[in-house]
Structure 1
Amino acid sequence: MLSELDDIDLEAADFHSSLPLKKVPYGDIFEASRAGDVGRLRYLLESGVNVNARDQWDSVALYYACLAGHLDAARMLLESGAICSEHTFDGDRCHYAALNLKVRKLLKSFEARPPPLQPLQAALRDTFFSCQANHFHFNFTSLLPGHSSQGESSSSYCPPDIVFYVQGRPLEAHRLILAARSPFFNKKFQTDWKQRNEGISLPEEDRLPAALNRILQISLANSPRGQGIDTEDLADVCVRVEDKIFRCHRVILASRSEYFKARLSRIKDFIQGTDPLPQQSLPCLDEHDLNAETFQKMIEYMYTDGLVEINPDQAEEMFDAASRYLLFPLKRPVADALLPQLEMVSPAELCHWLLLADMYGVLKIREYCLDAIALNFETFAETREFRAMLLTLPPPSGDSSLRTTAPSAPGAEVNVVEGNILDDLREKWLEAEGAELDKRDESALLFDKRLDMLMLVAKQEKSVEHEDNVDSSPETLSSSSVVIKSEVLER
């Protein structure tokens, strides 16, 4: 099996631990991971310790290794089956907590790898991926246990007996496994597909998103009926948002959101809230400080993995809901819908979205705003809103490798994994100005001085506003306006 680091472009300096390595001879898997003690970690894993076990803060060992920047410890945990998939709670948390680039790249290289399976499942998976048609469409087969790119493949002695065409691509399989795992396939093989062995493609309406969307629409149509039990939509829980009740399904809410998973695990046949409800009613969760329309869009994504229409005016509420309900992938389609609108907003609104994107971790929006400000820096520098925003941000560090906050233990303040906004803005501006490499330090220093001047102006404006004196001096503002671009050209 090839090393997961073979395709990672790292420099020698990247292999130094970000936090000092320590020995914890009697430590548990969490202490060993945070200390980077690979010897102790190897002993624990070989002794059968669950690599995905959780501690009192609901954290896994991989989280601590990423938080401390220990590459070898993180790699050992990943090779032992630690979960790091991007759409899981633990995976997203490890990605966000990773202290440096080397750990993030390591997580990315393991992201697509399936978790370890029991012998039966692993053997059947190997057979499936060894089918000739499947082999060409899955480029990670060389990473599967027991698979060899040379010699006889599993399919040579266990050939597939059914071929599906998914988006025009053949997918080979075995009738026995499909019939045993799915009543749908079992029925099809006995009726419509009895004499067929190729050319089969699952209709769009039978695929998971479309099928769940039908259930969702029935549930929404039945929602005005309230919390009564109805077998038509199979709803087993209600969520009350504002004055509206949504009939939902625990398995979907819990599967997509760790927040709902935790709340639903505590439901024991009770009705939440104080309103008297009739017997034979579904349990109900009350969600506060949330718009009903936003919640409806949120569950649409949870059921279908997509959004048909998004109102950009709802973007801020959607970002907030995605963060509160630990539904991080929801931010992506919302960001895609918002981006075209940002091309037409004012500098003041763009500053507003930059702060929101940084707060909610929406990298696509954050990058767009930083690029726009860097390319039109002098235009933004002349706006009062931009100058006021500068006063709310941490000062530039002078080192883009530094972070706004240091790593903290679980249960402490939230970690911020994005860089310092002003550091990133400086780098964007240097790229936009095309500053020569040997003069980047001078240009960066000039940029920082410019920011200092703008912040002085912002403080004066704030002081004047506080004194209810709206007659600000134009001379004061103009005297502080030093155009960076012209000074760079003069040098």
Structure 2
Amino acid sequence: MAKAFIELCYACRTGDVENADRLISTGINLNDVDEFDNSPLFLASLCGHEELVKLLLERGAICDRDRYEGARCIYGALTDSIRDILLAYDISKAVDISQPFATHISNLFRDKRLGTDDISFNFGNEMTLSGHKFILKARLPLLLKEAHIQQNESNIIHIQDNIPREIFEIFLQFIYLIPVLHKIKSTDYGILLNLSDEFNTPLLYDFLHKSRHMVDPAEKSTLMADYQYRVTEFARKELRTFVSNNIIANVLEWPTSTYYDSTSILKLQTCSAYPDLLISSVNCSGVRRTYPCHLAVLIRCDYFKIMFSNPFSEKKYYSAEKRENKAEMLPLLSLPCHNFEELEILIKYVYYDNADISWEYAIDVIKLASFVLSDRLKTMAAAVITQSKEILESISIFEILSLAWEADIEKLEHFSAKHLAYNLDDYIDTQEFEDAILKSSQRIKSREETDTIELIADMRYYLLEKYGVDMDDLIILEKNNADEKFLKSIGLFDFSQDMQSINAILQRLSLRV
């Protein structure tokens, strides 16, 4: 059994939504089962993690009440609210627009406001549809080849007269991951089968063949849910291949000590990726890399979305006229990176939702994600840090705490506080610990009687957890704080000693909790 699936099952037991989201993005089959025949959805339902149940359903977990596993999830749900969510769930809408990757690809076809389309499909009588060359390159390369787009750089594909616009639109919607399987009419099957055969879309072809003569609505609905999930994962694989073969493979690299090579730049912007934007960065060794990219996917990060949707100077360089004139330079944006690995992690994330982040790069990914305003990537990288056993061998816990404050990641704040609490003897006498307490106190915007120092409050919580102390114990502790023998007899002495050590630092710094 794959390690990632085992980790997902554990996250479903503990309710770790952020880590589950990161693991799901790697392409795990959510409807698989562990060695005890438990699916992730069953584990999340059984353990009462409502937000995780919603996440799994949104990402494609199937809860078919007519099947054993679906009924088991419903009847095993810990709470009535989870049971209601599962009962109300419509399996025909599995992997719908709530999935971030599928949602964004779908919206590229639905929402034309940013004007990222660069190719049109003509049906005569001025009836057209529009799309993106890079999507076709990734998912329908035979269509581009047949239309001779690669040879003459045309922006128009003329569709045969015997193909109705409405049916070809369904075909394109399928390519753009819009859930349309339930919309296909019996009269559409013949043309769609021909299109899927001609342009090599095997999943659509298989679905049409299997569903064509199905009569039972429940059976057909289950088939739709299964294929919609498979289609989404297959599209991710296609975009993964596209990124590898057309973006990473075409990267332009040169030392910063030399000038831009205009010939190489022009060659890059007319490469097989069909880019409309160039992303550049300089690593710690002084080497610059430039990647051919697409605004259509980069706008998953608010940094790019804001830059090109507001009246900034960058927008004027992105007009259709500019993009059609190959002599004009495409927009070239530079991003701050320590290594190229984190930039490529960002590229892979926006194109196909990959969050396979090694702990060695997690901190740099968080910094880059903060810069480009991608909260989800930032959260996924933070989840890697909290799950890593090696990271504290190379990076100080105080660096992680500082990053948590800087990037506003509460999960990392708690991770740092818990580590400090559970290993207090290693840090209590260090200057870094004292500095961290002081910095935490300075984060309080206005001092009031109810103000608390976040780091101390969090550490106190984890010290309570460490020593198994509850609120009733605290009342006893307050009344018998000086009675060492009594505190030892009820197991509160170690907790009391740790809190006294922390309070001594607070007094020395003239701070109050």
Give the TM-score normalised by structure 2. 0.45
Structure having greater relative contact order (Cα 8 Å, sep ≥ 6): 2
| Structure with the larger helix share | 2
Give the TM-score normalised by structure 1. 0.47
